[in-house]
Amino acid sequence: MEHAESGFLALVIERLAILYAFVPRQPSNDVSTCWQRLFAIAVEQDVELLENGERLYERAINSPAGRLAEALLSDIEAARQSFGSVSENHLRAMVFAARAEGKQGAFARAIFVNSLAFVLSVANDEICTCLDAALGETTAAGHGLRAVLVNQRRTYISVSNVFSAHILRGLLEVDASHHETTAAAAKIVAPALAIIREDSDVEAWGITLTDISHTLRNCPAALREGAVELLAQWILDIEGGPAEAWRTSVGPLLEKVWPRERVVRESALTCPFTNLVIRSGEAFPEALVQLLPYLSQVQGRERIPALERSECPERFPCETLTLLWRLYGPGSTNNLYGIPKILDRLIAAQPTIEFDRRLQSLHFRAERYE
């Protein structure tokens, strides 16, 4: 390849990038001439600007510049593990990739943004400044990079600290039809919980509770749904158990940051909020009181299996009936499939509840559908 003309290499750049990425390389403090030449050719043969930022990372990992940028990061990690530091040659190559123009430059930056925690651990100010500028653009590429940033699977405090403004902006741009919203929601749920629990402070994350409240109020509905789904998952994992997690973390968090405006009380939140109440353990009654205003009636054939599987009917029969009445009371078109068994469990736990008119109404409607 050393003697091959650039015009010929441009014709097969995609295959060469794949080959370079997958061929084993020995750790080195230098950047190979081969990488530099291939990356330059990849950029030069695709100089048009990116016009569509959708699915940017998925496209980047299959592009020549994206594959080469990924290979560069792998080489840097190998060199750091072997030699204990990152060389100036590697940093210059990162700057070269971060500043590249056209579509391939955007793809290279997408790779860097997807691995931003690692990039921050090795990068110099010039690289960070370049990525910061790219993330702030109003172009399709800027929009796409922010989507990559907020949809990273993991949430890093170091990334949030440096790029919090871009994270908050990207969350307002989340497109539920293309993105996994729980990953994006974690970018504000994680700092919110950490701040409430005093595990870390606002300065560490670069995001305040006011920022989080504003984002939840103005973001797409899918992000709010993702946030509640995360809380329903994480309440089971927080130290001290679900009840303590509700009382010391989740409940106070929602009290401080969750929007109260009626316009953001979406029906799509009923199922995840109900799951959160059910999973709050001994705090079920107080969680229900706090979240009941956010629950709406269940329509159609939608079910909440977590309630059927839980011990709430036996442990909290009165509160469970209150929950059932909110979900399936007058106006609900749900067929109440499975509800008679829950009603029977309520009666078994507290026989006098059989005379409650709410239970009688639900029992009558459920029998009609069975």
The pLDDT tens digits for 57-83 are 999 999 999 999 999 999 999 999 999
Predicted confidence at residue 113, as pLDDT, reads 99
- pLDDT score for 49: 87
List, for residues 306-334, the tens digit of each pLDDT value. Answer: 999 999 999 999 999 999 999 999 989 89
Residue 7 pLDDT > 80, yes or no? no
pLDDT at 369 over 60: no
pLDDT over threshold 60, residue 3: no
pLDDT digits (tens, 9 = 90+) for 198-244: 999 999 999 999 999 999 999 999 999 999 999 999 999 999 999 99
pLDDT of 370 strictly over 70: no
DSSP SS3 for 233:
helix
Residue 305 has pLDDT above 60, yes or no: yes
pLDDT at 12 over 50: yes
Quick check: 100 and 65 in contact, CB under 8 A?
Answer: yes
Instruction: Collect all residues with Cβ–Cβ distance below 8 Å to 49 and sequence separation of at least 6.
Output: 102, 103, 139, 141
Residue with the larger pLDDT of the pair 213 and 49: 213
Residue 13: alpha-carbon gap to chain centroid: 34
Length of the chain: 370
What 328-333 contacts at long range (C-beta under 8 Å, 24+ apart), as own/partner pairs, is 328/297, 328/298, 328/362, 328/365, 329/297, 329/358, 329/361, 329/362, 330/361, 331/297, 332/297, 332/298, 332/299, 333/299, 333/300
Whole-prediction pTM: 0.92
pLDDT digits 0-9 by tens, 330-348? 989 898 988 999 999 999 9
